[in-house]
Structure 1
Amino acid sequence: MSTYSIKDLEQLSGIKAHTLRIWEQRYSLLSPKRTDTNIRYYDDEDLKLILNVALLNDNGIKISKIASMSSEEMREQVVKMTEKSLTHDDQIHALTICMIEMDEERFDKVLSTNILKIGFEQTMMNIIYPFMSKIGVLWQTGAINPAQEHFISNLVRQKLIVAIDGQMYRGGGKKFLLYLPAGELHEISLLFAAFLIKAKGHRVIYLGQNTPNDDLLEVYKLHKPEYLMTIITTSPGPEEVQNYINSLSRRFNNSQIIVSGYQIVGQDLEFPSNVKAMHYIRQIKDYLEEISPVLQEK
Structure 2
Amino acid sequence: MRPLHSLKLVCQRTGLSPQLVRTWEKRYAAVTPVRTDTHRRLYSEEEITRLDLLHQLTGKGHAISRIASLSEAELRRLLESAASLPFSAAGGHPKGDSDFFEGMFAAIESLDTSILLDRLQQAVLQNGHSWVLENIARLTGQIGDRWRSGSLRIAHEHLATAALRIFLGGFIQDAKPGPSAPLLLVCTPAGQHHDLGAFLAGAAACNVGWRVSFLGASLPSEEIAAAAIKTQAKAVALSIVYPADDPNLPRELEKLGNLLPLGVPVLIGGRSASSYHASLEKIKALPVTSLSSLQQVLEDLCR
Shared fold, TM over 0.5? yes
Cα 1:287–1:98 shift into 2, 3 Å: same
Residue among 90, 105, 111 paired with 1:102: 111
Cα 1:235–1:182 shift into 2, 3 Å: farther
Distance 1:287 1:105 in 2: 34
Q: What amino acid is the match of 1:279?
A: T
**2:138 is aligned with 1:93:** no
Residue among 209, 220, 237 paired with 2:217: 209
Alignment of 1:36-55 (within 5 A): none
Shift of 1:235: 5.1
**2:284 is aligned with 1:274:** yes
Q: What amino acid is the match of 1:290?
A: D
> Which structure 1 residue ranges, 4+ long, deviate > 4 Å from structure 2?
140-143
The 3-state SS of whatever aligns with 1:189 is helix
Residue among 135, 142, 162 paired with 1:134: 142
Distance 2:233 2:276 in 1: 28
Distance 1:176 1:88 in 2: 30
Cα 1:253–1:141 shift into 2, 3 Å: farther
Cα 1:113–1:203 shift into 2, 3 Å: closer
Deviations 1:39-86 (A, max 9, x none): xxxxxxxxxxxxxxxxxxxxxxxxxxxxxxxxxxxxxxxxxxxx9883
Cα 1:142–1:170 shift into 2, 3 Å: same
Residue among 286, 293, 298 paired with 1:288: 298
Aligned length: 209
- Structure 1 residue ranges without an equivalent (≥5): 1-82, 294-298
Q: What TM-score, normalized by structure 1, do the two folds share?
A: 0.61
Distance 1:274 1:196 in 2: 22
Residue among 199, 220, 227 paired with 2:207: 199
Q: What amino acid is the match of 1:110?
A: R
Shift of 1:275: 0.7
Q: What amino acid is the match of 1:210?
A: S
Shift of 1:141: 6.4
The 3-state SS of whatever aligns with 1:170 is coil
- Structure 2 residue ranges without an equivalent (≥5): 1-84, 87-93
Question: What percent of counterpart residues are identical?
Answer: 16
Alpha-carbon RMSD: 2.8
Shift of 1:268: 6.6
Would you say the 8 A contact 1:236–1:244 is kept in 2? no
User: For residue 118 of structure 1, what is the aligned residue in structure 2?
Assistant: 127
Shift of 1:168: 1.8
User: For residue 169 of structure 1, what is the aligned residue in structure 2?
Assistant: 177
Distance 1:205 1:111 in 2: 23
